[in-house]
Amino acid sequence: MSPLDWPKSRRLPNSKRFGACYDQGRKIFTRHFVLFILQREEAEEGFRLGLTVSRKVGRAVWRNRVRRVLREFFRLHQAMIDRPLDIVVVPKRNLDPKCIDMALVEQEFLPALSRLVREAGGGITDARSPC
């Protein structure tokens, strides 16, 4: 398997796990997103990603674009996170879906992942290192 593959095991499986992230997970706020991060007890490798993009963001075309860009960011940077985490990303209302691109997402998520590195003391590689 290539290190850039995005297998089905990287998806958050059901609404029960989403709810657990919302209720028990740690929140990280960025300018346009809220990340809910929950440590899993299972010894499975890596993280699982869940995306919640509401209709308030815009029409289906724009919501799907937001999902595609977010998924691509995590696919390209999946080597940075090697702990069993559940991550749910929720865009805020102030996000303009027409302006979202990889540069915007990297600008917001790389510092958030660096903060996780500092606070976790390992398990996540340095966000500034190349993937």
Asked if the 13-92 domain carries CATH number 3.30.230.10, the reply is yes
Overall average pLDDT of the 109-119 stretch: 79
Top pLDDT among 40 and 18 is at: 18
Task: Please write the tens of the pLDDT for every residue from 33-48.
Answer: 999 999 888 767 778 9
- Provide the token pair at 37: 């991060």
Q: How far is CA 34 from CA 14, 37, 44, in A?
A: 19, 10, 24
As a whole-number percent, the residues of the chain with pLDDT over 90 amount to 53
Model confidence at 131, in pLDDT bands (50, 70, 90)? very low
Contacts of 60 (CB under 8 A, 6+ apart): none
Task: Please write the tens of the pLDDT for every residue from 120-130.
Answer: 655 444 444 33
pLDDT of residue 128: 43
Q: Which strands form 85-91's sheet, in the order they lie side by side?
A: 26-29, 33-39, 85-91, 48-51
CA nearest to 46, candidates 76, 84, 7, 74: 84
